[in-house]
Amino acid sequence: MERKAKKKLSENILDKFTIDFLRSQVLKNAYGNDDTMIAKLDPRILIVWYLFLGLVPWFVSDIYFLLGCFLLVVATTMLARVAGLVLFLFGIGVFSQTGYLFIVTLLFGGDASAIVPLLTLTLKVACCSLASITVFSGLDPDRLSNGLMWFGCPERLSFSISYAYRILPMLMEEFQNILLSFRLRGNPPASQTFWGKVKYLAYQVKTIMHAFYPLMLNTAKRSRTTVEALEIKGYRLAATDKRVKKMRLASLKVTWDDLMFLAVSFLWISLSILASTIF
Amino acid sequence: MNIIEVQNLTYSYPAAKEPVLKNLSLEIEKGDFLAIVGNNGCGKSTLCKTLNGLIPHFITGDFEGKVTVDGLDTRENDVGTLACRAGYVYQDFENQIVRPTVLDDASYACMNYAMEDYRERGQEALSLCGLEGREDDYIWQLSGGQTHLLALAGAVSLRPEILILDEPIAQLDPSHADRIYEVLRKLNEEYGKTIIVIEHHTEYIADYCRHVVLMKDGQVRWKLPAREALSRVDELRDCNIFPPQVTAAARSLQGKGVRLPDGPLPTTVEEGRKYFDGLVWDGACPACAQAKGDEQGGSQSASPSAVEFRDVSMAFRSVKGEDRVVFDGLNLKVERGEKIALIGSNGAGKSTLMKLMVGLLKPQAGEVLLDGESIRRKKTESLSRKISLVFQNPEEMFIKDSIEADIAFAMQARGVENWKERTEQLLEQFRLTELRDRDGRLLSGGQMRRASLAIGIALNPGILLLDEPTANLDMATRREIMEALEAMKEVTETVMIATHDMQLVCEWAKRIVVLYQGRVVADGDRDEIFGREEVARLVGIRPPEIFTMGRALDERAYCYTVDEFTAAFRR
């Protein structure tokens, strides 16, 4: 039973790590969680919240405070239902930042006492990363761009963000199809031996690089229509029109939920500061 | 009252030597439903872009003459003002959608023009276009037909008097196409909008349009009431437009000296019923017998099937909620030497089926066998000498910077000895020698198709799969593709085509497989498929018009082409 499960797991991992999987994960991350509590929050509140949790931990080394922040962002990440791949990348990221240092320390005769300073660093990195993940992945891109606009970011930036999310699925599909063309007509090296596997991997990487050229040209071809359509839809006109900006931002509203979220966060941070003064 | 007046318009694109539009004049009445027809590259789209001011405001170039839209001179008014008078839906409509969610996109233009009631306008446009209830959906959750309706809603939301649509149904199955045209008819009849479509499906013109403009070489040949226009069969054919089959049949019978009523030729089945009244069906005619005889030729050898699906199940992960099941326990055998047409509505799983056959997708359960061997453990690359797939979108086949390199790519990668000669020969065969150094993406629609076919058969595969090979093509290009298919007969024994083009199906296929919701609901020759009306109704496919015409005259008549019809009916 267990072996079967194990086999299935390894098969699953190999099976799943395809462009298709990547695509579905990216899409899931971008659009799949618009009904979570985090996604419903006012983007301005969330941006302020992020500015605090993304910056302050860098300047504080108190372990209780950092631990408090960490637990808070873990909770919000869970609330935001972030896609698995992003969390996986986060794990790798944190390890490559600090985890390996611990192993190196042990290898060169250090002992467990190295944990504490490393833990502080790890917590700082983890805290900021998770806060970013919560905001940028949990929040609907469109709301995020509205929030940024409220804080005075130029219209062009916020349009780019939401347009990027609009064409993302198209772009990924196009990319996938071009890769399929390579697969249909290419001839990769055999991958039985170890050396073969290395060559196979190199071939795959090369293919992905080659696929960019047709991808760019196809996208450029498509965007001709998009540019004309934007002109018809008055995009250029609106960028300079103050009334339009006001209309767009009218949809932002701070509700009780937002205040509750801020209050709970504030309370929790205060508690962790209290804890650090007591112990 | 004329809502559009074009006077002596001559226009050439920047850096082009020849003008696209030459001294063109045209008047369009308010409330008209007008079709513009003409061969590829005759300036139809260019004309339409002068109507909404994109030319000359956004696309510059040499502009002479005068265009008046709803009383406004296009040179003196900006694109924004004109967009509120004339809405435009592109042929590649999905690139016209710029926002992630449905309501957002429909109301985007109104917001940009600072209209306070932009949400209501978007909402109103959506319900006019039949998209109520989809407001908060993401645009990639819509089907092709719905995406087109959304593009239309985006234009309608500005409440323009004129709507211009470039090839609205080119990529849609008949039921989606009907829906688009029903919406257009409602906008025209109930809301008094003037509708202009660029269209080469003359059956739809006959059913819905009031006037037809024929363009040739940058000029308007004539503007006539639809029925009269479509009766000019020879002129339409000169411009590479298929007249409606009913009209073509009437013209052909006239030519044979069969006595028929005077007056305009019929353009729809309804009109044909009256017009052909009194003709009798001759079931014993040689054409009918021959058509029957052809079908018996299927090979029944003991060798394994070329392709076999055994209980194949396939589902796609969806972003939210349940996975989307495409196939659940699909069984299908494809014998060597068969000519199969795969039909079914958009999203029935046609493309997925083909991708499973070449190993680009692996089924979750069941087996796909090629020449009796399972391909589960095989790499796609190792199958490509046996089976080849030509994508629906030719652009995705071009992975190099010239078509010569593209054709040679697969052979070079496999070290085919005489790849140079073979490339040369393929370029010759598909009349691409002159274009060999060009990037495939920059070719015209027909050239792109030819190039993609050449790429597809470079490795001499025994089985060839074609996904929608005739979509968006005019008559001349379509004929070319058919000829190319004919020419490949010696090499590729087995061919499967996924298509909505029922004329192609009836002229070419020996076996027809109908997919519906991931199941094969019908499988047989054309008599078995089109003879059973319940299948057609269930799946939303429609036999060629001439078939319906034939059966309307005589229940026993199964005529699939105009030639069969004219051979079988006599006075």
What DSSP letter does each residue of A168-202 carry, written as one string? HHHHHHHHHHHHHHHHHH--PPP-SSHHHHHHHHH
CB contact under 8 A, B381 and A186: yes
Is the model more confident about A198 or about B291? Answer: A198
- Per DSSP, the three-state class of B499 is coil
CA dist B250 and B254 (Å) reads 6
Q: What is the pLDDT of residue B299?
A: 46
Q: What share of chain B is helix, strand, coil (3-state, %, to 5)?
A: 40, 20, 35
Q: What is the pLDDT of residue B291?
A: 53
CB contact under 8 A, A218 and B396: yes
**Of B66-70, B477-481, B527-531, which has the strongest mean pLDDT?**
B66-70
Instruction: Find the helix or strand (DSSP H, E) in which B9 lies.
Output: strand B2-12
Stated length of chain B: 571
Contact at 8 Å (CB) between B239 and B42? yes
Nearest to B461 by CA among B410, B508, B507, B400: B410
Lowest-confidence pick of A49-53, A175-179, B189-193: A175-179
Instruction: Find the helix or strand (DSSP H, E) in which B350 lies.
Output: helix B350-357
Distance of alpha carbon B419 from the chain centroid: 34
Average pLDDT (A2-20) is 52
Lowest-confidence pick of A182-191, B47-56, B105-114: A182-191
- Work out the angle between the directed axes of helices B445-456 and B419-429 (0-180°, nearest 10): 140
**Of A218-222, B12-16, B146-150, which has the strongest mean pLDDT?**
B146-150
Owner of token pair 């994508």: B391
Set of chain A residues whose Cβ sits within 8 Å of the Cβ of B389: 184
ipTM of this complex = 0.83
Q: Which two tokens stand for residue B462?
A: 């025994």
Q: What pLDDT digit, counting tens, does each position of A40-92 carry?
A: 888 899 999 999 988 898 888 888 889 899 999 999 988 888 877 888 888 88
In A, minimum Cα distance to B99 occurs at: A166
Q: Is the pLDDT of residue A155 over 50?
A: yes
Set of chain A residues whose Cβ sits within 8 Å of the Cβ of B379: 188
Q: What pLDDT digit, counting tens, does each position of B261-318 carry?
A: 888 899 999 999 999 988 888 876 665 555 554 444 444 555 778 899 999 998 887 6
**Of A35-39, A224-228, B22-26, B260-264, which has the strongest mean pLDDT?**
B22-26
Distance of alpha carbon A60 from the chain centroid: 25
Nearest to A126 by CA among A193, A171, A74, A175: A74
Instruction: Find the helix or strand (DSSP H, E) in which B231 lies.
Output: helix B226-231
Which of A31, A166, A231 has the CB atom closest to B79's CB atom? A231
List Cβ neighbours of A216 (8 Å cut-off, separation of 6 or more). none
Set of chain A residues whose Cβ sits within 8 Å of the Cβ of B138: 31
Set of chain B residues whose Cβ sits within 8 Å of the Cβ of A240: none
Which of B360, B381, B458 has the CB atom closest to A187's CB atom? B381
Is the model more confident about B348 or about B196? Answer: B196
DSSP character for B242? P
Residue to substitute from A18, A144, A145, A232, interface B, most B β-carbons within 10 A: A232
Which of B79, B99, B319 has the CB atom closest to A162's CB atom? B99
For the CA atoms of B130, B136, B141, B142, the dihedral, rounded to the nearest 10 degrees, stands at 20
Q: What pLDDT digit, counting tens, does each position of B497-550 carry?
A: 998 888 888 888 889 999 988 888 889 888 888 888 888 788 878 888 999 999
- Per DSSP, the three-state class of A137 is helix
CA dist A85 and B316 (Å) reads 18
Q: What pLDDT digit, counting tens, does each position of B274-289 carry?
A: 999 888 888 766 655 5
Q: Which amino acid is at A105?
A: T
Q: What is the pLDDT of residue B264?
A: 86
Q: Which two tokens stand for residue A1?
A: 């039973």
List Cβ neighbours of A91 (8 Å cut-off, separation of 6 or more). none
- Work out the angle between the directed axes of helices B144-156 and B118-128 (0-180°, nearest 10): 130
List Cβ neighbours of B271 (8 Å cut-off, separation of 6 or more). B227, B246
Question: In terms of DSSP bridges, do strands B494-498 and B339-343 run parallel, antiparallel, or are they unpaired?
Answer: parallel
Burial class, B31, CB count within 10 angstroms (exposed 0-12 / middle 13-18 / buried 19+) = middle
Q: What is the pLDDT of residue A1?
A: 45
CB contact under 8 A, A185 and B409: yes
Contacts 24+ apart (CB under 8 A), B475-478: B475/B237, B475/B240, B475/B241, B475/B242, B476/B39, B476/B240, B476/B446, B477/B40, B477/B240, B477/B445, B477/B446, B477/B449, B478/B504
Q: What is the pLDDT of residue A11?
A: 46
Beta strand segments in B301-400, E: 307-316, 324-334, 339-343, 365-370, 373-374, 387-390
CA dist A13 and B299 (Å) reads 44
- Work out the angle between the directed axes of helices B174-189 and B118-128 (0-180°, nearest 10): 120
Of the pLDDT bands very low, low, confident and very high (cuts 50, 70, 90), residue A9 is: very low
CB contact under 8 A, B393 and A177: yes
Share the mean pLDDT of chain A: 82
- In order of A47, B142, B219, B220, B317, the CA distances from B22 in angstroms are 57, 40, 6, 9, 52
Q: Which two tokens stand for residue B434?
A: 């002159």
Q: Is the pLDDT of residue A256 over 60?
A: yes
Q: Nearest CA of chain B to the CA of A41: how many Å?
A: 17
CB contact under 8 A, B112 and A244: yes
In A, minimum Cα distance to B108 occurs at: A233
Average pLDDT (B89-112) is 90
Q: Is the pLDDT of residue A158 over 50?
A: yes
In A, minimum Cα distance to B97 occurs at: A226
- In order of B255, B309, B462, the CA distances from B336 in angstroms are 41, 14, 9
Q: What pLDDT digit, counting tens, does each position of A233-252 carry?
A: 888 878 778 888 888 888 78
- Give the HSE-up count for residue B193: Cα atoms under 13 Å, Cβ half-sphere: 27
Average pLDDT (A152-171) is 80
Phi, psi of B193 (to 5 degrees): -75, 150
Set of chain A residues whose Cβ sits within 8 Å of the Cβ of B95: 222-226, 229
Nearest to B166 by CA among B284, B54, B62, B7: B54
Average pLDDT (B249-258) is 89
Q: Which two tokens stand for residue A73?
A: 């962002």
Nearest to B102 by CA among B72, B141, B137, B63: B137
Nearest to B84 by CA among A226, A234, A237: A234
Q: What pLDDT digit, counting tens, does each position of B359-388 carry?
A: 888 888 899 999 888 888 887 777 888 899
Q: Is the pLDDT of residue A14 over 60?
A: no
Q: Nearest CA of chain A to the CA of B410: how many Å?
A: 5
Q: Nearest CA of chain B to the CA of A62: how many Å?
A: 40
Set of chain B residues whose Cβ sits within 8 Å of the Cβ of A169: 140
Q: Is the pLDDT of residue B179 over 80?
A: yes
Is the model more confident about B451 or about A29? Answer: B451
Q: Is the pLDDT of residue B169 over 60?
A: yes
Average pLDDT (B145-154) is 92
Q: Apex CA A12: angle with CA A8 and CA A16, to 5°?
A: 170
pTM: 0.84
- Work out the angle between the directed axes of helices B403-413 and B445-456 (0-180°, nearest 10): 10
Of the pLDDT bands very low, low, confident and very high (cuts 50, 70, 90), residue B321 is: low
H helices present in B430-501, as ranges: 445-456, 475-487
Burial class, B282, CB count within 10 angstroms (exposed 0-12 / middle 13-18 / buried 19+) = middle
CB contact under 8 A, B380 and A183: yes
How many beta-carbon pairs below 8 A join chains A and B? 150
CB contact under 8 A, A166 and B113: no
Q: How many helices (H) and strands (E) does chain A have?
A: 14, 0
Q: Is the pLDDT of residue B163 over 90?
A: yes
Is the model more confident about B35 or about B413? Answer: B35
Average pLDDT (A147-176) is 82
CB contact under 8 A, B112 and A233: yes
Q: What is the pLDDT of residue B213?
A: 96
Nearest to B250 by CA among B221, B225, B230, B223: B230
Residue to substitute from B95, B118, B157, interface A, most A β-carbons within 10 A: B95
Q: What is the pLDDT of residue B271?
A: 92
Q: What is the pLDDT of residue B6?
A: 94
Q: Which two tokens stand for residue B235?
A: 């002129």
